[in-house]
Structure 1
Amino acid sequence: MRFSIVRTILSSSSLFRHRQFDFDVKRFPHRFSNVQHLFSISKLSTMTNSNPLPTATTTKNKLIWPPDSVRGMRELDRDLFRRPVKIPFIVTDIDNLTEVVQKLRPYFLKLQQFKPIQSYQPQSEPEQQSSNLKQIFLNPDHFTEFESIIKNLENDKLLSRLTDDEEYLGHKELELRYENFNHLVIFRSIFNHLESNDQNQDYSLSGFSQIGHIIHLNLRDHMLPYKKLIGQVLLDKINGCRLVVNKIDIIDNKYRNFQMEILAQIDDNNQTTIVDTIENNVRFRFDFANVYWNPRLGIERSLIMKKLNPKIDFVYDVFAGVGPFAVSAARLRKCQCLANDLNPESYRWLQENVCLNKVEHLVKCFNQDGRQFIRESLKEDLIRQIESFDGSDFNRQYHVIMNLPAMAIEFLDEFNGLLSSIRLNQNYKIPFLRIHCYCFLKSNTVDDCKSLWQLASKNLGHPILENDIEELHEVRKVAPNKIMYRLSFRIGKNILYGQNDDDDDDNGNEQSKIDSKSSCRNGIE
């Protein structure tokens, strides 16, 4: 039997193709923006400078780039980013603007707080007289690329002469400032000396996430000397940001929160860590300092939503946090949910988010240990569903979500014999449970994937059959040698009754037998 790691979702009820999304830094005026910004110094694209115009020396040998004086800066000095540069421009009549823009747009001078197209007033005309001419500023680092295009525009008589001796290309001296550069360029220009001095070290920033008005960093040790600078630049450059924090320890406590330090913040006595954010059109509110929230799991949560049959499925969220799975399932798929979390703060905000999204009639909240929740609340509700089953909604599925990657797999033994108390009643139609268990692996080799299957079987206390494994899905890379996975599999009445395979030939119910023939077992061949 051969194992492979997959990033594509296939299920018996739907086909969903997992795609990666690249996020550009954008400005969102909405206060509930939830945008994950990922950046890497080493991946920032470089541009070729072939402009013959004179320029001050820069490491990248480019005109549109901060000067070398900012290299290695540890305290932000915005004045050091000032730099005079001669910028080429052309002039065209407003009637020809559309055609000219179509051909020259890739070469526009693109800077923050700068408009590449501006009104143009010839020196020979009075300032008070209106002009139909437009001035287009071009990036001097791409001079050789647009030079021929300008020649063609001249021949087509689409440009206006700047002088009597047939000059169509002019130059204007501008002063580049800190306000003109985005955070990517600023970081690259400051940290460039680190990259060039040590080729064996990865000097890319680890990335950041934006949750409401808070930017959350997880800086590596070699970037800590620059942490205040990094925080201030992000505060200046990312729209909607009012607070920048850095994680200073690992998540190793039972409540899954972490200590953090403030790197930069807007001067405001009312500054708070309570945030409002939107994910997949569902609103959430919570205190980021006291609960666990990871916006990088947004795509994964949307994949789980795709697996739910609207209005008929049940969801049991064992480690619910503030409700990203359970509240979304109720809000988006109209599923009934039981949501639990041990952290009293998470439980408080879970209740808040249930009310915020008006799904009180669909979600019941619990503040219990995961084991207690499974053996009491989940069991009680599942037995009630079994006893009240009238034959309708035959396609109903029962999903158990266990998003506690560090130890969720250790809770699987609670399902072995969970329904042993009703084992003697032969009239019950016992459904199978769909378990979505998250866990960490230190690499993504075939042997590790096989060991994950074996580890789940060991903790369950019962072998998980090949036909019952639906998917082994790589969620994300947490660290260079640490990967988060989701193992989705089914358990039927043999396991729920605590029976051995020899006790009953039916490992599940009739529906389980039918589905096992057609289920898609992604990652397992």
Structure 2
Amino acid sequence: MSRFFSRISTCMQTRHRSSAKTLFQPQTMAAVPLQKETKPGLYHAPPEVRGMISLDREAFAREITVPALRVPTRVLNKVVKSLKKATIKRPGVARVVQEGEPCSSDGGDFRLVLLDPLRMSSPSSFTEEEAEALRSLDVPEELQNHEMRLTYDNLKTEEVLEAVLPQGQEITSGFSRIGHIVHMNLRDHQLPFKNLIGQVIMDKNPGVTCVVNKTNIIDSTYRNFKMEVLAGEEDMVTKVKENGVTYEFDFSRVYWNSRLSTEHMRVVDQTKPGDIVLDVFAGVGPFAIPAARAGATVLANDLNPESHRWLKHNVKLNKVEKSVRTFNLDGRAFIQGPVRQELPALLKGKANIHVVMNLPALALEFLDAFRGLLNKELSCDTNLPIVHCYGFSKDDDPQKDVEVRASSSLGFCLEGRSSVQFVRNVAPNKEMMCVRFTVPKEVLFNTDDEQTDPIEEPASKRQKCGETSH
């Protein structure tokens, strides 16, 4: 094995000679942003709601004036269609209201089409296309004022929060929706208003019945985090549909990240019917089950007993029991146990072998489990396992950083033999990456006669290396 470390030393020296940075485009995420309006707002909250801790919906009501167009009912539908970009757009506010006075000329009546006050200040605000449509329908381009009452129900989430939080404090935030649960990461200045924020989020998002806030960092063993309920019922068993697959799980006891749906499919799309997928940190199955549905045979493992329980449940729920075998082992024990036992036969076949290692906080450290995994070299050059291993990086060059760390763990230089994919930005200066490579023969096969047993890690290290998919 000493020559492995000689090669890895050479590989690591090249890290500091590389000055080129790779530019990455982040994926579309499943989080829902709360963005401030950049234009002057239609709604100006009463000053007394500033600093409100307990939500009083009635206090947000306000009388406002908006421009309106008086339109005969006989052409109403055509006018509304022609002015769809000019009409008011506000939750719970109708674009058309009763005008009230009958039309004496034809016995019909009129309606008022409410217009967007941020765009329509005078008849000249109509585009030429809109003005031409009104002329063709014999509708005068004359605006009148309409008094209306905006209530809490008509307000957007950001409007409520901007009105309540102290002036100058950031209200832009985001959340992830997991079935009926919304998960938030509130900042310190938002915590005094946490219950109000939770109630507003629940009010403004139909189907949400529970809002939670993460209270500490993710647990290092089972990858779940402590949370507090901000609003709604404490019902943590939820159902999620992702990429056509249904998952059920207890969100308080397993790890689930809605932002990874695109990444799950990116990797699954690289498998073909008949391929083998070895999922080392399977969680509740977001890689394993879609791969099985796509025709792969899957060995899926997770250390967290709750994740393993819900993994088995979701395998049955999606009717892929014949294609998925599940295990409740430490990741290293899974590689050096079931994977080691299955590999000799798998390497003789024609199916591609994919190893998914989605535990970005620790997965790179587990790559050493492949060193000398098999003690007898087989006549196989083209069917070696393809690894998809995830890691976090705070380095200026995350692509190189992850490649070098993978090389160090393997004891083999991967320069020129791997590709690194940007997955998502986790925090400022912290990125999640995926390094993809074929396990080299020099790593997988043990050529040292004395070393025939799996590499043992100290008990302290095994204890911290728990896992659930991230």
Same fold (TM over 0.5): yes
Whole-angstrom CA distance in 2 between matches of 1:206 and 1:63: 21
2:428 pairs with 1:480 = yes
2:275 aligned with 1:296: no
* Unaligned stretches of 5+ residues in structure 1: 9-18, 23-34, 49-61, 162-166, 196-202, 501-525
CA contact (8 A) 2:46 2:60 kept: yes
- Spell out, residue by residue over 1:443-493, the C-alpha distance to the aligned partner (whole angstroms, 9 max, x if none): 4x23x4323222111111222241x21x21221111112111111111132
Pair 1:46 & 2:41 matched: no
Does residue 325 (structure 1) correspond to residue 287 (structure 2)? The answer is yes
What is the RMSD of the two structures over their aligned residues, measured on CA atoms? 2.7
Report the alpha carbon displacement of residue 264 of structure 1 after superposing the two structures with TM.
0.3
Pick from 196, 203, 224 the counterpart of residue 257 of structure 1: 224
C-alpha displacement of 1:95: 4.6
Alignment partners' CA distance in 1, 2:43 and 2:107 = 31
Preserved contact between residue 205 and residue 220 of structure 1 (Cα < 8 Å): no
1:136 partnered with 2:101: no
Deviation per CA, 1:46-104, whole angstroms, max 9, x where unpaired?
A: 224xxxxxxxxxxxxx4334334333333222122111112221122345345533442
Pairwise CA distance, 1:226: 1.3
- State the distance in 1 between where 2:320 and 2:108 align: 59
* 1:79-98 matched pairs, under 5 angstroms: 79-98=58-77
Distance 1:460 1:287 in 2: 35
The aligned amino acid for 2:212 is V
Calculate percent identity across the aligned residue pairs: 38
Report what 1:397 is aligned to. Answer: 352
Distance 1:131 1:120, change over 3 A: farther
1:224 and 2:191 matched: yes
Whether the 8 Å contact between 1:153 and 1:159 is mirrored in structure 2 is no
* Alignment match of 1:316 (pick from 272, 275, 278): 278
Within 5 Å, give how 1:227-306 maps onto structure 2. 227-266=194-233, 272-306=235-269
Paired residue for 2:390, among 438, 443, 464? 438
After superposition, residues 411-430 of structure 1 pair within 5 angstroms as 411-420=366-375, 422-423=376-377, 425=378, 427=379
Q: Which residue of 1 aligns with 2:412?
A: 462
Tell me, yes or no, if the aligned pair for 1:274 and 1:286 is still in contact at 8 Å. Answer: yes
Structure 1 SS opposite 2:392: strand
Deviation at 1:318, TM superposition (A): 0.4
- Opposite residue 260 of structure 1, the aligned amino acid is M
- Shift in Å, 1:335: 0.9
Offset, 1:120: 4.1
Paired residue type of 1:72: G
| Structure 2 contact 275–352 (Cα < 8 Å) conserved | yes
How far apart, in 2, do the equivalents of 1:335 and 1:375 lie? 22
Checking the alignment, whether the CA contact within 8 Å between 2:67 and 2:121 is kept in structure 1 is no
Question: 1:141/1:349 Cα in 2 relative to 1: closer, same or farther (>3 Å)?
Answer: same
Shift of 1:111: 1.5
Q: Residue 73 of structure 2 contacts residue 108 of structure 2 at CA under 8 Å; is this kept in 1?
A: no
Question: What SS does structure 1 have at the residue aligned with 2:241?
Answer: strand
**Among candidates 98, 101, 125, match of residue 80 of structure 2:** 101
Matched, 1:495 2:443: yes
CA positional deviation for 1:379: 1.4
8 Å CA contact retained: 2:299, 2:325: yes
Q: 1:67-82, aligned counterparts within 5 Å?
A: 67-82=46-61
Q: Structure 2 vs 1, CA of residues 192 and 138 (structure 1 numbering), >3 Å: closer, same or farther? A: farther
Change (3 A) 1:382 1:100: same
Counterpart CA distance in 2 for 1:459 and 1:334 is 32
Is the CA contact 2:34–2:157 (under 8 Å) kept in the aligned structure 1?
Answer: no
Comparing 237-246 and 375-384, the one that deviates more:
375-384
Structure 2 residue matching 1:105: 3-state secondary structure: coil
Determine the C-alpha separation between the residues in 2 that align with 1:20 and 1:104. Answer: 35
Question: Does the CA-based 8 Å contact 2:27-2:424 persist in structure 1?
Answer: no
Partners of 1:88 and 1:171 within 8 A in 2:
yes
Change (3 A) 1:430 1:140: closer
Give me the whole-angstrom Cα distance separating, in 1, the residues matched to 2:44 and 2:108.
Answer: 33
Alignment of 1:353-368 (within 5 A): 353-368=314-329
- In the TM superposition, what whole-angstrom CA distance separates every residue of 1:260-298 from its partner, at most 9, and x where no partner exists? 0010005xxxx5210011000000000001100010111
Counterpart contact for 2:225–2:252, Cα < 8 Å: yes
Aligned residues of 1:3 and 1:450 also touching (Cα < 8 A): no
Alignment check: 8 A CA contact 1:386 1:429 kept: no
Q: CA deviation at 1:401?
A: 0.8
Normalising by structure 1, what TM-score? 0.75
Q: Write the deviation string for residues 321-348 of structure 1: whole angstroms up to 9, x where unpaired.
A: 00111011112x2111110000000000
CA distance in 2, matches of 1:298, 1:116: 37
- In 2: Cα distance, 1:419 partner to 1:455 partner: 23
2 CA distance for matches of 1:111 and 1:488? 47
The Cα offsets for residues 180-219 of structure 1, whole Å up to 9 and x where unpaired, read as: 0121222233336124xxxxxxx24441011010000111
Q: Which residue identity does 1:47 align to in structure 2? A: K
Which SS does the other structure have where 1:302 is aligned? helix
TM-score norm. by structure 2 comes to 0.84
Tell me how far apart the structure 2 counterparts of residues 159 and 187 of structure 1 sit (CA, whole Å): 44
Residue 344 and residue 329 in structure 1: after superposition, are their counterparts in 2 closer, same or farther (change >3 A)? same
Aligned residue pair count: 429
Residues 38 and 67 of structure 1: CA distance in aligned 2, closer, same or farther (over 3 Å): same
Q: Secondary structure at the match of 1:417?
A: coil
- Structure 1 residues 376 and 78, CA, compared in 2 at 3 Å: closer, same or farther? same
- Asked if residue 171 in structure 1 is aligned to residue 145 in structure 2, the reply is yes
1:321 maps to a residue whose letter is G
> Structure 2: how far apart are the matches of 1:384 and 1:155?
75
**Residue 104 of structure 1 contacts residue 146 of structure 1 at CA under 8 Å; is this kept in 2?**
no
What is the CA distance between 1:221 and its match in structure 2? 1.6
Question: In the alignment, is the contact (CA less than 8 A) between 2:300 and 2:324 conserved in 1?
Answer: yes
Pair 1:37-2:32 in alignment: yes
1:347 aligns with 308
Contact preservation (8 Å) 1:205, 1:219: no
Aligned to 2:161: 187
Alpha-carbon shift at residue 235 of structure 1 (Å): 1.0
